[in-house]
Amino acid sequence: MTNLILLGPPGAGKGTQAKRLEDSLGIVQLSTGDMLRAEVAAGSDVGAKAKAVMEAGGLVSDDIIIDIISGRIEQDDCKNGFILDGFPRTTPQAEALDAMLAEKGLGMDHVIEMQVDDEAMVERITGRFTCAQCGAGYHDTFQRPKVDGVCDKCGGTEFTRRADDNAETVRSRLGAYHEQTAPIISYYEKQGVLKSVDGMAAIDAVTEQLNAIVG
Ligand code: AP5
């Protein structure tokens, strides 16, 4: 079993690399952002509470997020391990995760910080698009499909862009990251479990750095 956390600001490449690790390690990606977007799309109570906060680039309340993750890591597909992408994002979330893992007799094998420059994140995020059918991620410049307009993975021809992927909201999301999420880097540093990779390298080079850590 391998459990790991990918930490980094919006656009650092957490989702891109989590999908690759999911394939290579045979463990599941748990993205709180994806879970919240599914709640918004389903029109649930949680989705109704999260929608405006997400569109403004703020953070959804700790209680909602902790509840979602606590239930999720108990599911069968997490038995071999999981990659946390976008969680924890505040000190209370990191503390709640430690308590949850201890209660379930689980541990965290790797906490990996993806180090990037903020300014490059705006270009990465505003150029991002996703296959509407299978969720594969692409970028207008950095990760184009092999055939324009056709998903490499499933052949789908419909693509979507996220409502919060505009330059103004990205700047708010980066602000929220530095204010509320960056402090958890020292939380994990103190625990002696923090590792880092250069997230400014090309996508394949970042994957190589991660593989060297997770073995
Ligand atoms: P979430 O969905 O988690 O978004 P995020 O953290 O802002 O991260 P992103 O998905 O934007 O970035 P990423 O690091 O995954 O980058 P990607 O790999 O796609 O959260 C959205 C919202 O939900 C939050 O704002 C908040 O409101 C709420 N939320 C979620 N979790 C929460 C929590 N725990 N607590 C409270 N609220 C929560 O890469 C970006 C683009 O760059 C892609 O197009 C990719 O192709 C490209 N790219 C990736 N790597 C590289 C590279 N090395 N070089 C060049 N291009 C690259």
Place of tokens 């929608």: 51
Q: What is the pTM of this model?
A: 0.96
Residue 10 CA to ligand 1 center (angstroms) comes to 4
**Closest atom of ligand 1 to CA, residue 58:** 27
Which residue, by CA, sits nearest to atom 50 of ligand 1?
13
Are 74 and 104 in contact by the 8 Å Cβ rule? The answer is yes
- DSSP 3-state percent helix, strand, coil across the chain (nearest 5): 50, 20, 35
Q: Is the CB of 11 under 6 A from ligand 1?
A: yes
- Which ligand 1 atom minimizes the distance to the CA of 205? 53
Q: Is 9 in the pocket of ligand 1 (CB under 6 A)?
A: no
CA-nearest residue for atom 20, ligand 1, is 33
Could you tell me which of 115, 53, 65, 52 has the C-alpha nearest to residue 92? 65
Q: Model confidence over 46-103: pLDDT tens digits?
A: 999 999 999 999 999 999 999 999 999 999 999 999 999 999 999 999 999 999 999 9
Please name which of 44, 14, 42 lies closest in space to residue 30, comparing C-alpha atoms.
14
Residues of the chain with pLDDT under 50: none
171 is catalytic: no
How many residues in total does the chain contain? Answer: 215
Residues 6+ apart with CB under 8 A from 100: 66, 69, 70, 73
173 noted as active-site residue:
yes
Ligand 1, atom 30, lies closest to the CA of 33
The verdict on the CB of residue 81 being under 6 Å from ligand 1 is no
Tell how far the Cα of 115 is from the centroid of ligand 1, in angstroms. 13
Residue nearest to atom 11 of ligand 1 (CA): 10
Residue-wise DSSP of 138-163: EETTTB--SBTTB-TTT----EE--T
Q: What per-residue confidence (pLDDT) applies to 215? A: 84
Ligand 1 pocket test target in 31, 73, 128, 204 with most atoms within 8 Å of CB? 128
